[in-house]
Structures are given as C-alpha cells and as structure tokens.
C-alpha cells in the first residue's frame, strides 16, 4: 500500500459572522463533501485576506448524522498562509468544513490522502 494525495476542493468563500461551509452553504446539516470514504486524512491550506481570526469546525459522518468533529481558529495577518491537518478517527462518507468570523475572504485548498495498492 502507498499513500496518494488528491485535490478535493479549491475555492474562495466570503467569511462573515454567520456559520457557513466553504461552498457558502448555511444549512448546518448539509455536507460540504460526500462519497469521501476512501480518504484517511486531509490537509486544508490557504490564505486568509483579513487580520481577524477565522473560527472553523469540521464534521465527519454518514447518513446517520455527524459522528466526529474538530474545531479551532485560523489566525494570522492579512495575506498569511494557513495549514490545518485533519485526521478523523474513522473513514466517513460526508464531511462539512464550516467557517465564521469577521468579514474577509478565505482562499482554500483541501487535499485528501488515501491508501492505494502499490
């Protein structure tokens, strides 16, 4: 077995005080990404365009709801890069990447790691 990385998402979202996912969906039960069982870890990287911190919550689950979550803050000055490493305890079919904070643009790239036959 070897590890392979694949780009899952690249995009920009306008962050504001209301929680929304990186696709700009505000429904808290709506997954951002589906059919994600093959991924064992994720690297979320990008650039924030404001000075204020951005709060994030990542949830993982399946058709029976969310079973796992992680949260934190993306900090730094305007134009600074960030990297968040996400290692769920189990493979999940659905994930939601939710952000909120002071108004600013957030440029994101999500890379998923999966194990494949050598």
Q: Please report the domains of the chain, with CATH numbers, ordered by start residue.
A: 2-113 (2.60.120)
68-100 pLDDT tens trace: 999 999 999 999 999 999 999 999 999 999 999
Q: What is the pLDDT of residue 63?
A: 87
CB atoms near residue 66 (< 10 Å): 17
- Is pLDDT of 116 > 90? no
Compute the CA torsion angle 75, 69, 9, 101 (nearest 10 deg).
-40
Average pLDDT, whole number, for the chain?
Answer: 96
* 115 has a pLDDT exceeding 90: no
DSSP H stretches of helix in 14-96:
none
pLDDT at residue number 1: 83
């Amino acid at each position: 077995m070897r590890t392979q990385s694949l780009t899952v998402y690249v995009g920009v979202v306008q962050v504001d005080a209301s929680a929304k996912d990186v696709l700009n969906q505000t429904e808290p039960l709506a997954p951002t990404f589906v059919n994600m069982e093959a991924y064992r870890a994720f690297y979320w990287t990008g650039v924030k365009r404001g000075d204020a911190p951005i709060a994030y919550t990542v949830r993982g689950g399946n058709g029976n709801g969310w079973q796992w979550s992680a949260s934190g803050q993306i900090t730094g000055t305007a134009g600074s890069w960030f990297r968040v490493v996400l290692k769920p305890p189990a493979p999940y079919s659905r994930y939601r990447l939710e952000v909120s904070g002071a108004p600013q643009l957030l440029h994101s790239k999500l890379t998923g790691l999966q194990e494949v036959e050598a």
